Amino acid sequence: MGAFERENAGQGRKPAAAGKAGSSGPAGDRGPLRRFLSAALDIVYPEGLYCLCCGDIIEPSRRHGICDRCSSEIYWNISDPLERDLDMFSFDGVLPCCRYGYRPRQIISGFKNGGRPYAAKPIGSLMGERLFMSGLEADIIAAVPMHRDKLRARGFNQAELLAEQAQLEYERLGGKGLRYIPGLMQKPVATDSMRGSDAVKRRSLLHTSFSLSSQYADIIINKRIILADDVVTTGSTADACARVLKEAGAGRVYVLCFASGSGWSPQYERSDLI
């Protein structure tokens, strides 16, 4: 039983029997390349080998790649951290897995900056499970885009890897109708580092940074879209992306992330979710 399955046992949506991730249909047709990449990740990063936080060997049952000790040091939470402030944003809700802190920062830093793209599998699977257990129905999942210069330097867009893996896990659990569209959005304008910037400055920097890829203009009309990213802090990046999508005719836009650093109550609850 997975993290959010245990948390939601006896309430809300029940996971369907796990099927093959490559089931038929628009959302389920993974194709030869996606199957090959998934198999490659299994070889490079076999499940249940090393903890993403501390690097210790973990039991195979810890399918999300986090040992019990590190898991106990993460504030797991499945509520929307920005629910009371949604009138300030263009998106319609945030689905985080946990609160941003020391251990989640280790995981994300190692993933993005430590040359560990394989970590997208356990992190993205956790996000897919989060989405499934929310009961939220959507049509499209896509990533927050990255400017080409940053993409060239890093070698991959972590949000793109997470979006794809989240869709595969959502489908594996029995979710239907969610299509992953790589490259749905673009970031043609580079922005300076926003580390340490407040929400006002971030919004100013991001105001004209994003655009919709023209080939998808007709596809998103009235569609419910999931935007995937690794971390949501002030919500400014997701807000800028959601604004572009809604101005282009999208219906509702939700943000799916591993960790969130905004809007949390001082009273955090620790749960043994992993």
Domain ranges for the chain: 3-260
pLDDT, position 16: 36
24 Cβ contact list (under 8 Å, min separation 6): none
Three-state DSSP class for residue 31: helix
Statement: the pTM of the whole predicted model exceeds 0.75: yes
Q: How much is the mean pLDDT over the chain?
A: 80
Residues of the chain with pLDDT > 90, as a percent, come to 54
Residues 6+ apart with CB under 8 A from 154: 112, 113, 146
The residue ranking higher by pLDDT, 235 or 208, is 235
> Is the model's pLDDT at 70 over the cut of 60?
yes
For helices 102-113 and 120-134, angle between their N-to-C axes, nearest 10 degrees: 120
> Which residues, in sequence order, are CB contacts of 127 under 8 Å at separation 6+?
95, 97, 162, 165, 166, 169, 228, 256, 257, 258
The helix (H) or strand (E) run that includes residue 203 is helix 199-206
- Residue 51 pairs in a beta bridge with none
Span 83-87, average pLDDT: 90
> Which residues share a beta bridge with 232?
260
